Each structure stands twice: as structure tokens, then as C-alpha cells.
């Protein structure tokens, strides 16, 4: 078994972390669980913000005492006890989510855990990544400061150039032909609706994994929360200026985690933007496929005549690759294990689970293993 | 053949890299009497394989997988760990002397550690009285529990490399919670749970084979 330099990077880092934290608390062993936990922080802090957020750009009835998205955010920040903290937690947890996802992604990639029987996890992961990035962007629209206005206009300009469906896309996005009071309700709906849709995408992400590790140990959660609170304390969110539809803001601060696409849009123009986005996405989606499918997995095989239908292999398979089907007529047993070859990793866990020698890896029969053990046990020790 | 003191290592090919210290046939060149059988994942280790090794005359077995948490196949090392601890069926038969089975969870880079631990274990096994020819002989009862400690809890801090050493203590009841706590250090394996279902099923199996014939 050869390891390449990329895997080596993670092996060395993880060994180091194991020395510091023991394997039980090694954050890299919770690479998937951490983004999941951060998602819950976001849901909760988002819920609290939602309680006071008003998704309009203006409110005629209160025009003297303007109540709109911007002022409601200001109210949360300045008047609600700990409102500024909740808001900052929500923002920085979003950044942390992107960081955690990227670490997760790079780890599964570099340690070769992303292709063949894992393609569903990878592709659904890309969908999750795009969703999270887009949710983050919509978060920045909601504040309705000058940056929000600029982002909205830039997005509209990008949507309008899409052939054929450009206009309907814009009308959907703005909830009308132009920016209106209804626009922000749509933004809020996209932001929250997509956030909950993450749960559906995650279900697909997990469907081929038995018992995905989705809860980091509490100790790690506390450390993560401490880091987030430290950032909140040292970098409170600064006040911005309310969006004015009659103004033409032209520059803004770029949040490197969520707003990079707008930097691309600013630099390359709409066509360049779409081409680069499509190319990047396609490249990410293709990563599991290239040319590199070195050797195909030889999937496990059930010896039908020996299988007692005990389901041990079915329970232990880490990739949900075994299905228990009704045993053929005439069998003494009720069930029969069957392997779904396209899901099988060839790991052999099912071999270890079977007390009846009824399941085998074709390239390493357990009878051969036993033979080798026997022979080595008998050989004269030097 | 009982006094050869062979120790068989069932090793995940992604765990501690032993290529430098083993010949193709599986003889370890730096530790006397240590043999290595490579598997794609430690999760492939069947308790039957361990029993088979003893039956064939081995006097000790080391199971080596990656660090718990880092299994390439997600859960393989957890599975065999739980089987050895008697928390997952099929488990080891009661007749297997627990102190002769050592589990090591070592990453690819930890060859040195593997060598050191294996050496210590081989030395410890050599110090034990030879196994009776038939592995069916009852395991050494109580006294085995403590003397086994040196082999399974060597000087260096144990927590660091999550290992479970399985020793003889036939009365021990390991609850899942206990096992969790003991994850990093040595563990007294429950020898009771887990075996029965497998044996019942074995009976079924022999019937199945009769029928086939
Ligand atoms: C919302 C973001 C995400 C969350 C919460 C998440 C969570 C998880 C979790 C919990 C696992 C199971 C780990 C295990 O138990 O072994 C997992 C596996 C995986 N994820 Fe993600 N993931 C996310 C995004 C991504 C992205 C962006 C990618 C890559 C494009 C990705 C690729 C994978 C792959 C390939 C696996 C399989 C790894 C294995 O089998 O060991 N995920 N993910
Ligand atoms: S563990 Fe073996 S006997 Fe049991 S269902 Fe799977 S293949 Fe059949
Ligand atoms: S080898 Fe067995 S346990 Fe591993 S993925 Fe295939 S069917 Fe599942």
C-alpha cells in the first residue's frame, strides 16, 4: 500500500493532533461532524435573529419611524440584549462552516476517500457546498445596507444575461420586476428555505454511509464555541449605511468566505463570471472520475448456500452495500444477504462479521487468509 | 509445535507500515517469532481467524488497525475492536485466552511504536507457559488478570495510541459505557456477551450443510 504526498500531509498532521488530543478528540477525525454541529449553531442563532427581523425595504405606515430590514437589524444589534452577540455568532459561525466544510472536503479528497463507491457522497457534497455558499450570500442581502444593494444589483445583472430564462430568473429573484418591499421577503425565504433544504441534501449525503459520525465530542464543541465567541468579542460587526435606492454604491468589503464570486463578477463581467462558475463547478464534480480509477473495486460475494440470513454483515457494512432479501424458495432460512456491487468498497468488514464463511472478497478469500495464518503459525520461527 | 512461540499479526495494510521490517512471506525480520498477515482492513478480521491461529499453534495474536477514528473504510477498526471486547457479534470464543490477544491501533507512520509494542508482547508471550495443544483447554482463570498488565500497558503513555488489550478475566462484564471509557487503555474483555448467538447460529449452519449434502 503506497501513500502519496497528499495523504502524507494528513497522516503527519493527524499524528501530531493525536499526540496533543488523543484520537478520541482529534478534530480531523470529526471532519464531517464539525460542519454538522456548526449548522445547528447557525439554525439556533438564525432563529433568534428571525424573531426580530422585518423583511421589507420600507414601511409606509411607519415612515416617520422607519421600520425595515436595515433598521430591524440595527435594533437587534443595539437594543436587544446580546443581540449584537447573536448576530455576530451567526455571521462568524457561517464563516466557520465554510472553513470546516473546506477542511472536510480537502481531507476526503487528499486521503482518497472520495471516488468510486463514494461518488454519491462527493457529488452531494458539492451540492451542499454550493448551497451553503449561496445561503451565505443571501445572508448579506438581508442586512439591506449599501453592500446589500450593490450585491442585489450585481446579482440581477448576472441573472439577466442568462439566455432564455434570464428575465424570469430576475423576476423570481426580486419577487417582481424591480426591487420592492416584496424583494426582501423572497431573500428571506431563499435564505431560510435553502438552509432547511440542507437537511434534505445531507440525507442524500449520508444515505450510503451506515452510522455517519455526525456528533463531535462535547469537548470539541466547547472549543469551537470558545473560538467563535473570541472572534465575536475581538471583531464585533461594524455599523454600515442603510441602502438608498437612489444611490449607486460601487465598492464594498468582500467577505472572503461568501462574497468571492462577486469579486469574480466585478473583475470578469457577467459572461466571464458564468463561464468561470460553470467551469469551477464542473471541475469539482469531475474530481472523482478522471482517468484515475486505478483498479476497480472487487465487490464482496455471498455464497448463497452457506448464508443463514443472520444479517450480521448487513448491520456492519459501513457503506450500506448489503441488502437482506427473502431467501429463495426451498431455503431453510428466511433471508439471504445480497451485495450491491456498486456500493461495495471491498473492505471485508462483512467477512469479519460472518461467522459462517458465507461472504468473501473474491481477491482475498478468507480460506486463503486462514491458510496463510496456519502456515505462518506452523513455520519455524527464525 | 506448541513451544515455537509464534505470534501472528493480523494487520490492516493501511495501518502501521511494516514493509521495511517484513519479508514477502510475512516473517518479521526485526522481531523474533512475529508473523504478519496483511488484510485490506482490520475490520476483515474474523474472530474465527484468531481462533484458527491458536488452533494452528500460534501462541499469541496481535490485531492491528489504524487509529480509531481514521479507518479508511469508516468503521472497520471499530468493528473488530467491539468484537474483541465482546460487544459485537460474532465475538471471540470463551476458550480463547484473552491475554494472548493484543489489539493495537496505529497510524501508518507509527512503525516504531508497532515494533516496540510487538516486541514487548512477544517477550510476554514467551514468558507464558505453552498453550495446550487443543485450544479448547480452559483459559487460565483469575491470576491472568493482573500479570498480563506489563504486556498490554507498556511504559509510554497509553492514552496516546488508543489500544485495547484483551486479557483473560472470564467473569468481567463490560458494559458499553465502560468500554467507551476504556477506549484508549487496556480493556478487560467481556467474555460472555456475543458468543452465544454465534454458537447457536453455528448449529444452524451445520444443519444447513447436512441438508446441502
Ligand atoms: C454541509 C456540509 C457538509 C456536511 C455537514 C458533511 C458531513 C459529512 C459527514 C458527517 C460525513 C460522514 C463521515 C463519516 O462518518 O465517515 C461525510 C462524508 C463525506 N463527505 Fe461530507 N459533509 C458536507 C459537505 C461535503 C462536501 C462539500 C464534500 C465534497 C465535495 C463532501 C464529501 C464527503 C465525502 C466524499 C464523504 C465520504 C467520506 C468517507 O466515506 O469517509 N462533504 N460528510
Ligand atoms: S453474515 Fe454471513 S450468514 Fe449472516 S447474512 Fe451475512 S453472509 Fe449471510
Ligand atoms: S466488502 Fe462487505 S462490508 Fe465492505 S462495503 Fe463491501 S459489502 Fe460492505
Domain span holding position B187: 173-213
Choose one of B90, B105, B126: the last residue of a domain. B126
- Whether B165 and B153 have beta carbons less than 8 Å apart is answered as yes
Number of residues in chain B: 213
- Residue B185 domain-assigned? yes
Whether B122 and B177 map to the same domain: the answer is no
Looking at per-residue pLDDT, the higher value among B113 and B191 belongs to B113
Whether B104 and B24 map to the same domain: the answer is yes
- Residue B46 domain-assigned? yes
**Which residues on chain A are in Cβ contact (under 8 Å) with B8?**
373, 376-377
- Residue B117 domain-assigned? yes
* Residue B21: closest CA among B113, B95, B104, B105: B113
Could you list the beta-strand ranges (E) of chain B. Answer: 7-12, 34-39, 60-65, 101-105, 165-167, 187-188
Q: Which percentage of chain A shows pLDDT scores above 90?
A: 82
Q: Which percentage of chain B shows pLDDT scores above 90?
A: 45
Whether B19 and B122 map to the same domain: the answer is yes
Choose one of B126, B157, B186: the last residue of a domain. B126
pLDDT higher than 70, residue B66: yes
- Residue B67 domain-assigned? yes
Whether B48 and B120 map to the same domain: the answer is yes
How many domains would you assign to chain B?
A: 2
Whether B97 and B11 map to the same domain: the answer is yes
Closest residue to B69, CB basis, from A29, A332, A346: A29
Looking at per-residue pLDDT, the higher value among B158 and B30 belongs to B30
Give the residue whose CA is nearest to atom 6 of ligand 3.
A344
Quick one: closest CA in A to B213, which residue?
A305
- pLDDT confidence of residue A61: 57
Give the residue whose CA is nearest to atom 37 of ligand 1.
A121
Q: Is A300 in the pocket of ligand 2 (CB under 6 A)?
A: no
- Residue B154 domain-assigned? no
Choose one of B89, B104, B126: the last residue of a domain. B126
- Residue B137 domain-assigned? no
pLDDT digits (tens, 9 = 90+) for B118-129: 999 999 998 888
Distance, in Å, from the CA atom of B137 to the CA atom of A208, rounded to the nearest integer, reads: 44
**Domains in chain A, ordered, with CATH?**
31-286 (1.20.810.10), 301-378 (3.30.70.20)
Ligand 3, residues A116, A348, A357, A361: which to mutate, most atoms within 8 A of Cβ?
A: A348
Distance, in Å, from the CA atom of A377 to the CA atom of B133, rounded to the nearest integer, reads: 13
Question: In a 10 Å sphere around its CB, with 0-12 CB exposed, 13-18 middle and 19+ buried, how is residue A33 labelled?
Answer: buried
Whether B11 and B93 map to the same domain: the answer is yes
pLDDT higher than 90, residue B146: no
Cα end-to-end distance, chain A, whole Å: 26
Whether B161 and A23 lie within 8 Å, measured CB to CB? yes
- Residue B144 domain-assigned? no
Whether B24 and B90 map to the same domain: the answer is yes
pLDDT higher than 70, residue A193: yes
Whether B181 and B99 map to the same domain: the answer is no
- The residues facing A324 across adjacent strands are A337
ipTM (interface predicted TM):
0.89
Whether B113 and B192 map to the same domain: the answer is no
- Residue B133 domain-assigned? no
Whether B177 and B122 map to the same domain: the answer is no
pLDDT digits (tens, 9 = 90+) for A127-177: 999 999 999 999 999 999 999 999 999 999 999 999 999 999 999 999 999
In degrees and rounded to multiples of 5, residue A345 shows phi and psi of -100, -10
- pLDDT confidence of residue B131: 76
Whether B181 and B119 map to the same domain: the answer is no
Q: Is A201 in the pocket of ligand 1 (CB under 6 A)?
A: no
CATH number for the domain spanning B34: value is 3.40.50
pLDDT digits (tens, 9 = 90+) for A283-293: 999 998 876 55
Whether A349 and B208 lie within 8 Å, measured CB to CB? no
Whether B119 and B16 map to the same domain: the answer is yes
pLDDT higher than 50, residue A57: yes
In degrees and rounded to multiples of 5, residue B122 shows phi and psi of -60, -45
Amino acid at each position: 500500500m503506497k501513500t502519496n504526498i497528499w495523504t502524507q500531509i494528513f497522516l503527519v498532521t493527524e499524528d501530531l493532533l493525536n499526540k496533543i488530543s488523543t484520537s478520541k478528540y482529534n478534530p480531523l477525525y470529526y471532519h464531517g461532524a464539525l460542519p454538522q454541529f456548526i449548522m445547528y449553531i447557525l439554525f439556533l442563532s438564525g432563529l433568534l435573529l428571525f424573531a426580530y427581523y422585518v423583511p421589507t425595504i420600507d414601511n409606509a405606515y411607519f415612515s416617520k419611524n422607519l421600520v425595515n430590514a436595515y433598521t430591524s437589524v440595527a435594533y437587534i444589534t443595539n437594543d436587544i440584549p446580546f443581540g449584537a452577540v447573536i448576530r455576530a455568532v451567526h455571521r462568524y459561525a457561517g464563516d466557520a462552516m465554510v472553513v470546516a466544510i473546506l477542511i472536510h472536503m480537502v481531507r476526503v479528497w487528499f486521503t482518497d476517500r472520495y471516488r468510486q463507491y463514494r461518488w454519491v457522497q462527493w457529488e452531494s457534497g458539492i451540492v451542499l457546498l454550493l448551497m451553503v455558499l449561496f445561503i451565505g450570500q443571501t445572508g448579506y442581502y438581508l442586512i439591506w445596507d449599501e453592500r446589500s444593494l450593490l450585491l442585489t444589483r450585481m446579482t440581477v445583472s448576472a441573472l439577466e444575461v442568462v439566455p432564455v430564462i434570464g428575465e424570469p430568473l430576475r423576476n423570481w429573484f426580486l419577487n417582481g420586476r424591480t426591487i420592492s418591499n416584496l424583494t426582501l421577503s423572497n431573500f428571506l425565504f431563499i435564505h431560510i428555505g435553502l438552509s432547511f433544504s440542507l437537511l434534505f441534501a445531507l440525507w442524500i449525503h449520508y444515505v450510503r454511509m451506515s452510522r455517519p459520525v455526525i456528533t463531535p465530542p462535547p469537548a470539541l464543541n466547547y472549543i469551537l464555541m470558545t473560538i467563535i465567541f473570541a472572534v465575536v468579542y475581538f471583531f464585533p460587526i461594524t455599523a454600515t449605511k442603510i441602502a438608498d435606492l437612489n444611490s449607486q454604491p460601487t465598492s464594498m468589503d468582500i467577505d472572503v468566505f461568501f462574497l468571492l464570486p462577486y469579486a469574480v463578477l466585478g473583475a470578469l463581467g457577467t459572461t466571464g463570471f458564468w463561464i468561470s462558475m460553470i467551469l469551477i463547478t464542473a471541475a469539482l464534480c469531475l474530481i472523482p472520475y478522471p482517468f484515475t480509477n486505478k483498479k476497480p473495486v472487487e465487490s464482496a460475494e455471498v455464497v448463497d448456500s452457506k448464508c443463514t440470513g443472520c444479517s450480521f454483515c448487513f448491520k456492519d457494512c459501513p457503506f450500506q452495500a448489503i441488502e437482506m432479501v427473502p431467501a429463495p424458495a426451498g431455503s431453510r432460512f428466511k433471508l439471504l444477504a445480497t451485495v450491491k456491487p456498486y456500493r461495495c468498497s471491498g473492505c471485508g468488514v462483512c467477512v469479519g462479521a460472518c461467522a459462517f464463511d458465507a461472504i468473501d472478497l473474491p481477491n482475498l478469500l478468507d480460506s486463503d487468509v486462514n491458510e496463510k495464518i496456519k502456515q505462518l503459525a506452523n513455520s519455524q520461527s527464525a | 509445535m506448541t513451544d515455537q512461540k509464534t505470534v501472528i499479526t493480523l494487520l490492516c495494510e493501511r495501518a502501521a507500515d511494516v514493509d521495511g521490517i517484513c519479508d514477502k512471506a510475512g516473517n518479521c525480520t526485526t522481531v523474533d517469532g512475529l508473523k504478519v498477515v496483511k488484510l485490506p482492513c482490520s475490520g476483515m478480521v474474523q474472530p474465527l481467524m484468531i481462533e484458527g491461529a491458536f488452533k494452528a499453534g500460534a501462541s499469541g495474536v496481535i490485531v492491528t488497525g489504524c487509529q480509531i477514528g481514521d479507518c479508511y473504510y469508516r468503521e472497520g477498526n471499530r468493528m473488530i475492536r467491539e468484537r474483541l471486547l465482546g460487544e459485537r457479534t460474532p465475538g471471540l470464543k470463551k476458550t480463547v485466552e484473552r491475554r494472548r490477544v493484543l489489539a493495537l491501533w496505529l497510524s501508518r507512520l507509527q512503525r516504531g511504536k508497532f515494533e516496540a509494542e510487538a516486541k514487548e508482547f512477544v517477550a510476554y508471550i514467551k514468558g507464558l507457559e505453552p498453550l495446550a495443544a487443543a485450544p479448547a483447554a480452559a483459559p487460565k482463570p483469575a491470576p491472568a488478570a493482573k500479570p498480563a498488565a506489563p504486556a498490554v500497558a507498556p511504559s509510554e503513555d497509553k492514552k496516546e495510541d488508543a489500544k485495547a488489550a484483551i486479557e483473560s478475566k472470564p467473569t468481567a462484564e463490560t458494559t458499553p459505557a465502560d468500554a467507551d471509557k476504556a477506549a484508549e487503555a487496556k480493556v478487560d474483555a467481556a467474555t460472555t456477551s456475543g458468543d452465544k448467538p454465534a454458537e447457536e447460529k453455528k448449529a444452524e449452519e451445520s444443519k444447513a450443510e447436512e441438508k446441502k449434502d
